[in-house]
Structure 1
Amino acid sequence: MRKLEPALTSVANPRVKGWAKLSERKHRQREGRFKLEGVHLVAEALAAGWPLECVVFDEGAGIPPELVQFAEREEAQGNGPLWIPASPDVIAKCSETETPQPVFAVALRVERKAEQLFRGEGGPVVVLDGVQDPGNVGTIIRSAAASGASAVVLGKGTADLYNAKTLRSTMGALFSIPVMEADLPQLLPEAKARGIPLFGTSLKATESCYACDLSGSPWLLLGNEGAGLSPEVMELVDRPIIIPMTGRTESLNVAMAATVLLFEAQRQRLVRLRHPSFPSS
């Protein structure tokens, strides 16, 4: 096993104070760093090769068994994050949950370029306009990754990607699909100019999502939990669509709606692969 950093035992340590501040969005944005809490998220980040500054673990329990392989791999390669034992008090100081996990990591933000959205390769691009609930945003990212989407774009008013609740809800999907923030009134006209179809969900729409060709790389726009797409964004939508519901309910949760659309798009792509003459609309 690699040589470890000296154990941190004081919550007054400047390093510890710096990590604790990452619970606040302004510090995450200023420093370009964020925290990952728990074995699963840290393991997913390590497996994906995401840039980590350090992995901090309970000194009494040692490196979690699920992470030992990554520590040994990095020792053999001579790179990777620092592995730092710490007291339970230090871990609790840096935790955002009532029951602190035995490990957390400090990760670096990875900036994505908007140009990669216009490649027209793979599945759809999911665009979120003011989706405020971190759990919804995280679930949509997870569904996007699971269904083969190309990317997820977070517009103004959308929950912070690096919020602890958002990260937990992604279940590590953040590390397998590009996610970026963008100014939608600036980004969407450029997409339209490049011939990319913009589908937007709306309860006032009359066109069923099942009657649309989602098999290529369209952009799927979803709005705020209560208000839907903003008027500014709705004006840019090419085709307003609705998910037909034969039961007795008015609407779906935005994360559920996104999941329905994403897996319908996946179904159509798979059908087209088997049957190239699959009709488009």
Structure 2
Amino acid sequence: MAEYKYISSLQNPMIKKALTLKEKSRERKKIGCFVLEGVRELQLAVKGNYELETVFFYADIIAKEEVLGLLGQEIDHKVIIEISKDIYQKLAYRETTEGVVAIAKSKLHSLDSLKFSNKKPLILVAEAPEKPGNIGALLRTADAANLDAVIIANPKGDLYNPNIIRSSIGCVFTNQIGVGSTEEVVEFLKSNNIAIYCAALTASEKYTTVKYTEASAIVVGTEATGLSSEWLENATKNIIIPMEGEIDSMNVSVSAAIVIFEAKRQRDS
């Protein structure tokens, strides 16, 4: 059975832990837990088989019964805590509040943990993404396209940064995600016979002329520096989205979405 409590003191150890996890990436990595907020995010975390450690709710916004409904069958052995207004305002980081915050255990996201039920998987690889908004948008695109996996090569930040969770609208929980160095990711793709299509400005083919109907990885880099030479040296093909205006690049999440949905169009035709 779930355990129920009420906390009104900011000095409570459980509240201090939640605040630390919210604010400090180092502690999230050290403890292996993170904070999530919101009804949809909680639902998607449960759907994504994340282990919830503690669920906090503010009764003036959301009733305990509604929280239990969100958790479904996941209520056994969970600590469910009603919190005061002051505590909720400290824990919440969203402008539009929904009354629920939780501590969940992180996943490891090793490349070896990736499993493909599709014999010809379609994968998005992002090298060294830094901006939480871009990462969130990439994850939302991957979810919308129902990609087989998202791989982050040479990660620069914390996947469970609250801003990534928020900008992804919980899609960090719905995607199968792997993390590794560029060298490890290249080796993983090659060993699994997955073609590597790198978005690049030089020695590239127009993205619509390439066939993505076999096992494929679409690889994107940062807007500032693009992809590292290791990717370009190992690419099956370099691809480009022709620019007809004055600039030579678009936001990385927009570029990825264009190529991903071209690949989906080819596979569905």
TM-score above 0.5: yes
Shift of 1:187: 2.6
Shift of 1:99: 6.3
RMSD over aligned Cα atoms: 2.5
1:83 and 2:80 equivalent? Answer: yes
For 2:75 and 2:155, locate their aligned partners in 1 and report how far apart those are by CA, in whole Å: 41
Shift of 1:203: 1.7
Q: Which residue of 1 aligns with 2:104?
A: 107
- Residue-by-residue CA offset, 1:124-158 (whole Å, 9 max, x unaligned): 11111111111111111111121121111112244
Shift of 1:209: 1.1
Contact kept? 2:204, 2:239, Cα under 8 Å: yes
Shift of 1:186: 2.3
1:166 and 2:202 equivalent? Answer: no
For 1:214 and 1:232, locate their aligned partners in 2 and report how far apart those are by CA, in whole Å: 21
Q: Which residue of 2 aligns with 1:197?
A: 195
> Superposed, which structure 2 residues align to 1:130-149 within 5 Å?
130-149=128-147
> Superposed, which structure 2 residues align to 1:62-81 within 5 Å?
62-63=62-63, 67-71=67-71, 73-74=72-73, 79=76, 81=78
For 1:4 and 1:63, locate their aligned partners in 2 and report how far apart those are by CA, in whole Å: 16
Contact kept? 1:43, 1:66, Cα under 8 Å: no
Letter in 1 for 2:76: N
Q: Which residue of 1 aligns with 2:89?
A: 92
TM-score, with structure 1 as normaliser = 0.85
Aligned length: 267
Letter in 2 for 1:128: A
TM-score, with structure 2 as normaliser = 0.88
Shift of 1:93: 2.5
For 1:34 and 1:41, locate their aligned partners in 2 and report how far apart those are by CA, in whole Å: 13
Structure with greater strand share of residues: 2
- Aligned equivalent of 1:228, options 222, 226, 229: 226
1:244 and 2:242 equivalent? Answer: yes
Which ranges in structure 2 are unaligned for 5 or more consecutive residues?
Answer: none
Letter in 1 for 2:59: E
Q: Which residue of 1 aligns with 2:14?
A: 15
Identical-pair percentage = 28
Shift of 1:113: 3.9
Q: Which residue of 2 aligns with 1:270?
A: 268
For 1:116 and 1:44, locate their aligned partners in 2 and report how far apart those are by CA, in whole Å: 20
